Chain A
Amino acid sequence: MTTASLRLALVGAPNTGKTSLFNSLTGSRQKVANYPGVTVERKSGGFVTPEGRSVTVLDLPGTYSLRGRSPDEEITRDIVLGRFDGEAVPDLVLCVADATNLRLTLRLVLELKRVGRPMMLVLNMIDIAKRRGVTIDLDRMSQELGLPIVTSVAVRKGGVDELLKRTDEFLAKSHEAAASQWTTPTIADLKAAQREADRIIAAAVTLPTKPDTLTNRIDSVVLHPVWGLIILAVILFVMFQAVFTWAQPAMELLSGGFAALGQLIHDLLPESWSLLQSFLQNGLISGVGSVIVFLPQIIIIFLFILLLEDFGYMARAAFLMDRIMGGAGLHGRAFIPLLSSFACAIPGIMATRVIDNRRDRLTTILIAPLMTCSARIPVYTLIISAFVPATTLWGFVNLQGLVMFGLYAAGITSALTVSAIAKFFLWRDHAPAPFMLELPDYKVPRLRSIAIGVLNRAKMFLYRAGTTILSMMVLIWFLASFPTAPAGAEGPAINYSFAAMIGHALEPLLRPIGFNWQIAVALIPGMAAREVAVAALGTVYSIEGGKEAAEQIGQVLAQKWTLATALSMLVWYIFAPQCASTLAVIRRETGGAKWMVVTFLYMLALAYAASFLTFNLAQALGLH
């Protein structure tokens, strides 16, 4: 038993500081993956105890009981019971409790005891408990529970020393697991266990005479029916300012850097190797660049989300928005992910992990790409400035701005409609998840823990989404570059490529929505990222790049397209699944291709139908 790595599993109710304990035990030696076949995150890590035992830790999904009412909770139950395929049964179960709030965890402890695995209770956040005047008679509690108890302050340096020492002591002896007596608890069992837990608390814990009023005082403002919403709006405003203004310089630096690197490679290679030049510059480097350019936004959004989560605000935001979102069949927790999607659907979809119900999460992932992301802005501004006159309506409304607003509003409305439809058709036979969650006491955010969390998200995005996105970029480059133009050919090379062939082949299909073959061709590289379509249109219409390119494209388009076509194109961009990166992230977050295909098809159908209507209506109205 001492040679192989020992397996530790962390179990606990939500908000007990389990994740910060995991972070302080393992530091950056963590691996985040998914359990096979499900969308549940598997977090594991390793550390070495003071006496040199190497230990692997598994951070199991938070749960209030082993009943397993969601896929996450089933995983916790099955691993603890040792019946999860491909996952060894833990040698030691560490049940993590918030020392300031023992009621619910102690009931879980009593339930876990019946499983019979060697177990230790960790009273985390003991410093906060002491400060509030909560005194816990550890010997008494340990005796009542029949379990060793250790205290910890996960967020402080040295706060887990005692835990490490006791783990060593515990592991030095051999422990036999008792036979499991666990059965799914009935309501009567739960109530009996809660009474027993309350009895133990009454015997071993002295609560302060004065309860914590700080959380209450903050909440009386933050959860106020009017002030609460205003504060939420201000927080979101700051968050979006940060995403757009702080990320912008970094994003420009990155995209500029990659463009320069591509040019450098281009210049270094001899002209006769034009194919390799093009592959490295336009395929590989711009492919990698188009992935990495999202990184600043992802880091900033997750920094905010994790800070707010750690502070305890996220549950409050869900509380404030639940009724408002509920009208469209969305869970209160879907609010932040959907809002993040206005910057970019990728962090938005990644942020849906805060929604614990699988169906609510899938609905949110499904509609996140309908939120107008920042990559649509270049396409919108190009077409609007080329076709919509900058006239002023009613003395104060700019028509161009009004159209832009309309596009955003159309995205939001359609997202809410799709959600309501999905709720009705896809999940009709399932009871919607009720809104029932703990509002934890406010805590000062733990920067180290947040840093590790942000780092994990960034790594996850780069490594795994990166590989899929990159391969799609290379494919799109291939389609736009082969076969090469014959010698002495007229017009841009892309007109001889597979992309052009596909564009020509698609043209009859796209004619009813007013698209010509040039648009069809530009849509293919536009799959890489929406804004690339602008540059692709420039290429197709043989406009040399440069600073004024966008303006020139606008002028050319204004001559070559009818207003009906332009409007149809705008509407197309509200809905069309024109983003390989988003699709790749959906595939990864949902653990399979199914929901990626569903998203792609429904968005495509919506885009086609909406553009068809727009084009024909515009023509009927004589908008040429």
Chain B
Amino acid sequence: MTGDPNSSQDKLQDIRLGHADRGFVGKIIRLDALVTGSSLSPKELEQRLVEMGFVEGARVEILHEGTIRRDPIAVRVDNITIALRRSEAMAVIVE
């Protein structure tokens, strides 16, 4: 129990980017495209997210939200800004 106290705490704080609010700042832990609201197959969705720079360790920040149901969102991924729908952002696990 005297190990790294942060690691277990971080586990609890893992959330899906699709649930995060504007102003959220965090780091990508992993991608999990199995259960999302996206119409894409999990594999295709993961591939596209990686192509847009959503890789483990990248810093993410939600900069802006759309008008209706706060969707889509504009996310700063390291030093680029990507707009995507919350349903696809569900595949991004962040801390």
Q: Which residues of B contact A225 (CB under 8 A)?
A: 65-67, 70
Segment touching A, from B4-12, B13-21, B35-43: B35-43
**Contact between chains at A434 and B67 (CB < 8 Å):** no
Cβ contact of A67, chosen from B47, B63, B72, cutoff 8 A: B47
Q: Which residues of B contact A432 (CB under 8 A)?
A: 39
Within 8 A of B (CB), among A313-360: 315, 318-320, 322-324
**Contact between chains at B83 and A319 (CB < 8 Å):** yes
Interchain CA distance A617-B65 in the complex, whole Å:
46
Give the interface centre of A64, A187, A315, A437 by most chain B CB atoms within 10 Å. Answer: A187
Q: Which residues of A contact B50 (CB under 8 A)?
A: 187, 190-191, 194
- In this complex, the interface size class of chain B, counting residues with CB under 8 Å from chain A, is 35 or more
Counted as pairs of residues, one from A and one from B, with CB atoms less than 8 Å apart, the total is: 114
**Contact between chains at B63 and A216 (CB < 8 Å):** yes
Q: Which residues of A contact B46 (CB under 8 A)?
A: 187
Q: Name the prevailing secondary structure of the B interface residues.
A: mixed
Cβ contact of A435, chosen from B45, B67, B69, B85, cutoff 8 A: B85
Within 8 A of A (CB), among B31-69: 38-41, 43-53, 55-56, 63-69
Interchain CA distance A101-B80 in the complex, whole Å:
7
**Contact between chains at A435 and B72 (CB < 8 Å):** yes
Cβ contact of B40, chosen from A101, A216, A431, cutoff 8 A: A431
**Contact between chains at B83 and A323 (CB < 8 Å):** no
**Contact between chains at A187 and B43 (CB < 8 Å):** yes
Cβ contact of A320, chosen from B43, B44, B66, B82, cutoff 8 A: B66
Interchain CA distance A441-B46 in the complex, whole Å:
25
Determine the residue in chain B with the shortest Cβ distance to A98: B80
Cβ contact of B67, chosen from A107, A220, A320, cutoff 8 A: A320
Cβ contact of A439, chosen from B41, B47, B71, B81, cutoff 8 A: B81
Q: A225-B66, A323-B71, A324-B68 are in contact. Are A438 and B52 (CB under 8 A)?
A: yes
B18 CB to closest chain A CB, in angstroms? Answer: 12
Interchain CA distance A435-B38 in the complex, whole Å:
10
**Contact between chains at A436 and B52 (CB < 8 Å):** yes
B7 CB to closest chain A CB, in angstroms? Answer: 22
A16 CB to closest chain B CB, in angstroms? Answer: 12
Q: Which residues of B contact A211 (CB under 8 A)?
A: 79
A60 CB to closest chain B CB, in angstroms? Answer: 17
A-B contact pairs, 7 of them (CB 8 A): A69-B44, A319-B64, A431-B39, A434-B85, A435-B85, A436-B82, A439-B74
Q: Which 9 A-B pairs have the closest CB atoms?
A: A223-B64, A323-B68, A439-B81, A225-B67, A64-B51, A431-B39, A190-B50, A436-B84, A319-B83
* Interface positions of B (Cβ within 8 A of A): 38-41, 43-53, 55-56, 63-72, 74, 78-85, 88
